């Protein structure tokens, strides 16, 4: 499924929608304006929280938790690398995703068990951060989309805490 994530430049608290290929809303992200570290609620269109993203503040490298029903479900960790941007989406069991980006931070691939399961392409035109996320069938769309939001927070937000 192809999703489009477009953050609103003038939004209060980093709120935005995730749409499908035709521009129909699929999910809503509600950013918390006054918080210590990044905190975002990933919701369905009825406002039900599917996941909660929170930045772990005391960490050598950027680290975010993805919470489901108040429990840590996964973590997104930035790895040290000289020439590429590398992240890991650490999910329960041996099913982790390896996330690798281009030197210029415009393109990312999610790999699992040695095959590409999602591609992210960032668009730098206009006043907003906008990017497409193409995820193959039978993958965890919510975890991958949450990870894309984390990567954008780590690499492109001016107000990193």
Greater confidence, 87 or 6? 87
**Total number of domains in the chain:** 1
Q: Is 18 inside a domain boundary?
A: yes
Most confident of 13-17, 59-63, 141-145: 141-145
Query: Residue 143 falls within a domain, yes or no?
Result: yes
How confident is residue 161, by pLDDT bands cut at 50, 70 and 90? Answer: very low
Residue 161 lies in a domain: no
Residue 56 pLDDT greater than 60, yes or no: yes
Range of the domain at 12: 2-156
98-108: pLDDT as tens digits: 999 975 667 89
55, 74 Cβ separation under 8 angstroms: no
Q: Give ∠ CA 132-137-138 in degrees, rounded to 5.
A: 125
Is residue 48 situated within a structural domain? yes
Kindly report the CATH number assigned to the domain that includes residue 150.
2.40.160.200
pLDDT of residue 160: 44
pLDDT in tens, 9-23: 545 557 889 999 899
What mean pLDDT, rounded, does the chain reach? 85
Name the 3-class secondary structure at 105. Answer: coil
């Amino acid at each position: 499924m192809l999703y489009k994530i477009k953050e609103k430049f003038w939004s209060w608290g980093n709120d935005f929608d995730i749409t499908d290929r035709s521009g129909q809303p699929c999910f809503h992200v509600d950013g918390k304006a006054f918080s210590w570290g990044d905190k975002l609620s990933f919701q369905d269109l009825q406002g039900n929280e599917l996941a909660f993203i929170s930045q772990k503040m005391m960490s050598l490298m950027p680290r975010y938790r993805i919470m489901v029903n108040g429990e840590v479900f996964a973590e997104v960790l930035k790895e040290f690398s000289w020439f590429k941007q590398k992240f890991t989406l650490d999910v329960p069991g041996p099913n982790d995703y390896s996330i690798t980006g281009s030197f210029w931070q415009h393109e990312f691939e999610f790999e699992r068990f040695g095959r590409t399961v999602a591609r992210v392409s960032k668009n730098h035109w206009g006043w907003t951060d906008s990017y497409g996320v193409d995820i193959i069938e039978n993958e965890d769309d919510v975890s991958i989309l949450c990870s894309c939001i984390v990567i954008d927070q780590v690499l492109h937000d001016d107000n990193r805490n």
